[in-house]
Chain A
């Protein structure tokens, strides 16, 4: 006996699931497009009625406002586009430095949290719990108003043995400045770095081949450091010392020399570092605890030392658990740097909001700002996908 379609009667298309799914999707898309079109239409006509039709031409106009700190050339006569670029670079600067230091502190606190020493363990726990349960914004404003702007005036600055001065106008630290021999030495430095890198690569290859991985990064670093030190003296012999230390000193009513860090930068930077390090500490702790006890015992049984156990057994496995939440913490830090507006640090968002107030270009500026942050997060997720693919556990 054979079935024919016609024996049962064809399913009418309004009861056929395949058609229904397509129809449902078409309806949803049409409705969403209609709503979106309506909203955007309102927006465009509204803006036109106000005499500020949507356009990005304003970016070429002169900004006519000052920015407290900038990594590139900027003045009142620069354009809005340049002002936004200054803000973007400031965002990148504070995010990058913040990520580096937050990771360092986070790892230290996370390991302290696992310490067998009861007191150290509890201190780390207090640090984490105290910070994780208050809003970052409150912490930032607190740091700005009650710490960095409450430092003594320039005349009676707090001095750290002349190496650094803390004042309410900023923090001044001793900083190396290139001197006569720098022109020669920078090539030596580059050469040492390349040789160090090659040594590390060779050691890494060797490790892959023999299965006994040496501390290849340490090898590379030591070679680099030794070469850099030797060439320093050569450069000094050829053209004088490559660098000298520039000490800050009080000249007139302000400090000159050294590296100056504004209170605004210090507030957002230390705030982000301390706050994020508490979250990173939890990530690190969870990662290390996720490695099963048997792994540690097995490593001890095979005769590995404590350090070797950590380096060869615990750490590689913990990293797999740590990296994904760690990257999302990095992303959070970058997004949180937009709170800089509350402490007066001119990051992308703060500059943008100045432009909004001055030129009335709310829609355009908000779109640009969101686009930039979105790009950051897209790049991060691309990296994450790549990383996950590489470290994924290959199961049977």
Chain B
């Protein structure tokens, strides 16, 4: 047995394990098959980048997109009420900044990049002569202020931030819709809502209103009472067994019949009802997953303390169950946001509906590729951004790890 006495005897690690070359050898050219695979995949990737880049810069004509940015974003929402939308965006920026500062320990490069995107967007819009760049810049400024505030006073601000986040979605509905006929915050009828605004609102409506139903259905499904259980199971399984589009058609064509003669509801609300019915069934299954993850000991402990059935549910079981399903709920929200595109098939002017409407304009004939690439990008940025953000927050909070 030998012992090393001086550091001179310790050899440096073999070159194939370190540096860029070592990394490449390990990950790209490990064997002959690997090398061939790398070249094929690399050639394909280069071709793809070149083809797409060439199309974006040389072939595509972006007039159908750049002329109608306002339509894509908010449909026919009156310009005089734009400040309400901006107000909500500012609040969102502040909240994101606060949450980030309070819950995430360090400023991450990706996060900064996400915040910088609106600035770049602002610069781009500025060169096109749009007037919204100061607003977009202001969102970033608010987010950064929120971040430093949250970082500085994490203890004090945690509770208000939680409450604000919970209140944010109902607030959105109130502010966008407004109240009263005239003047300050006047009512904006739903047929003027459109574009991305409508898509987001439908998803928010769906998630917020399906939540209580979903929780009730989940509890019903877990219940020992046979009648409640049967009703819940029937509802959940029937709704989950049919496509959303049939529910939307049912909402548009059958809902008017279900109500007594003389009562009419507008189309956005009809679609919303269908979406809520749909989302509630999936919400119930998600919440049930959370309920099942609660160990039996928690129920027994609550019983031992002498809590009643309701107290046990409200104070012991549900808070833990809901905390465990937050990541799944974010996933459901993303899915719902994508699913709202189906309302275009029943004639609503959401992001996809607006896009189809613009393509019907003779000025933009044959510009399908540009328009669909643009709205697909919007959907993508939102869905991916939300899932990325929730994943980071999950790691930071340790949600679902207990």
Interface pair B243/A336, CB less than 8 Å apart: yes
Q: Which residues of A contact B357 (CB under 8 A)?
A: none
Residue A369 lies at the interface, judged by CB distance under 8 Å to chain B: yes
**Cβ of A333 to closest chain B Cβ, rounded Å:** 11
Residue A28 lies at the interface, judged by CB distance under 8 Å to chain B: yes
**CB contact list, A347-396 vs B, under 8 A:** 349, 353, 356, 362-363, 366, 369-370, 373-374, 376-378, 381
Interface pair B261/A46, CB less than 8 Å apart: yes
Question: Which of B133-141, B152-160, B172-180, B377-385 lies on the face that meets chain A?
Answer: B377-385
Given contacts A141-B372, A341-B245, contact A46 B257 (CB under 8 A): yes
Bound complex: CA of A146 vs CA of B241, how far in Å?
A: 32
Fill in one digit per residue for A135-148: 1 if any B CB lies within 8 Å of its CB, else 0: 11111011001100
Residue B295 lies at the interface, judged by CB distance under 8 Å to chain A: no
Least CB separation from B344: chain A residue: A137
Interface pair A117/B44, CB less than 8 Å apart: no
Interface pair A138/B246, CB less than 8 Å apart: no
**CB contact list, A110-164 vs B, under 8 A:** 115-120, 123, 129-130, 132-139, 141-142, 145-146, 150
Residue B188 lies at the interface, judged by CB distance under 8 Å to chain A: no
Interface pair A366/B246, CB less than 8 Å apart: yes
Given contacts A47-B257, A374-B238, contact A137 B352 (CB under 8 A): yes
Interface pair B245/A42, CB less than 8 Å apart: no
Interface pair A120/B372, CB less than 8 Å apart: no
Interface pair B257/A42, CB less than 8 Å apart: yes
Interface pair B231/A28, CB less than 8 Å apart: yes
From the candidates B27, B231, B242, B260, name the one contacting A117 in the complex (CB within 8 A): B27
Q: Which residues of B contact A341 (CB under 8 A)?
A: 245, 345
Q: Which residues of A contact B243 (CB under 8 A)?
A: 335-336, 338-339, 349, 373
Say what secondary structure dominates the interface of chain B.
helix
Residue B30 lies at the interface, judged by CB distance under 8 Å to chain A: yes
Given contacts A117-B27, A117-B37, contact A135 B341 (CB under 8 A): yes
Interface pair A21/B225, CB less than 8 Å apart: yes
Residue A32 lies at the interface, judged by CB distance under 8 Å to chain B: yes
Residue A342 lies at the interface, judged by CB distance under 8 Å to chain B: yes
Interface pair B369/A146, CB less than 8 Å apart: yes
Interface pair B249/A133, CB less than 8 Å apart: no
Least CB separation from B238: chain A residue: A374
Residue B45 lies at the interface, judged by CB distance under 8 Å to chain A: yes
Residue A34 lies at the interface, judged by CB distance under 8 Å to chain B: no
Q: Which residues of A contact B375 (CB under 8 A)?
A: 138
Residue B28 lies at the interface, judged by CB distance under 8 Å to chain A: yes
Interface pair B379/A120, CB less than 8 Å apart: no
From the candidates A39, A129, A376, name the one contacting B258 in the complex (CB within 8 A): A39
Interface pair B225/A349, CB less than 8 Å apart: no
Given contacts A116-B27, A135-B338, contact A369 B41 (CB under 8 A): no
Bound complex: CA of A339 vs CA of B44, how far in Å?
A: 31
Number of interface residues of B (CB under 8 A): 54
Residue A49 lies at the interface, judged by CB distance under 8 Å to chain B: yes
Q: Which residues of A contact B257 (CB under 8 A)?
A: 42-43, 46-47, 363
**Cβ of A392 to closest chain B Cβ, rounded Å:** 17
Interface pair B379/A145, CB less than 8 Å apart: no
Interface band, chain A: 35 or more
Residue A25 lies at the interface, judged by CB distance under 8 Å to chain B: yes
Bound complex: CA of A136 vs CA of B254, how far in Å?
A: 26
Bound complex: CA of A49 vs CA of B359, how far in Å?
A: 40
Residue A24 lies at the interface, judged by CB distance under 8 Å to chain B: yes
Q: Which residues of A contact B237 (CB under 8 A)?
A: 377, 381
Bound complex: CA of A130 vs CA of B345, how far in Å?
A: 23
Residue A312 lies at the interface, judged by CB distance under 8 Å to chain B: no
Fill in one digit per residue for B364-376: 1 if any A CB lies within 8 Å of its CB, else 0: 0000110011011
Residue B253 lies at the interface, judged by CB distance under 8 Å to chain A: yes
Least CB separation from A147: chain B residue: B369
Q: Which residues of B contact A24 (CB under 8 A)?
A: 225
Bound complex: CA of A136 vs CA of B368, how far in Å?
A: 16
Interface pair B254/A42, CB less than 8 Å apart: no
Residue A245 lies at the interface, judged by CB distance under 8 Å to chain B: no
* Residue of B45, B257, B259, B369 with most partner-chain A CB within 10 A: B257
Q: Which residues of A contact B369 (CB under 8 A)?
A: 142, 146
From the candidates A133, A342, A362, name the one contacting B380 in the complex (CB within 8 A): A133
Given contacts A117-B30, A133-B383, contact A32 B372 (CB under 8 A): no
Residue A29 lies at the interface, judged by CB distance under 8 Å to chain B: yes
Fill in one digit per residue for B257-273: 1 if any A CB lies within 8 Å of its CB, else 0: 11111000000000000
Interface pair B372/A363, CB less than 8 Å apart: no
Q: Which residues of B contact A116 (CB under 8 A)?
A: 27, 30, 34
Bound complex: CA of A141 vs CA of B369, how far in Å?
A: 10
Bound complex: CA of A356 vs CA of B38, how far in Å?
A: 54
Bound complex: CA of A336 vs CA of B339, how far in Å?
A: 11
Interface pair A338/B245, CB less than 8 Å apart: yes
Question: Can you list 9 contacts pairing A with B, beta carbon distance less than 8 Å?
Answer: A28-B231, A49-B261, A120-B41, A123-B44, A133-B387, A135-B352, A138-B352, A363-B257, A377-B241
List 12 additional contacts besides A42-B260, A117-B41, A119-B28; criterion CB under 8 Å. Answer: A28-B231, A47-B257, A117-B28, A118-B28, A119-B37, A120-B38, A129-B384, A142-B369, A142-B372, A335-B242, A369-B242, A370-B246
Top 8 A-B pairs ranked by shortest CB distance?
Answer: A377-B241, A133-B383, A118-B27, A25-B227, A362-B253, A135-B341, A135-B338, A335-B243
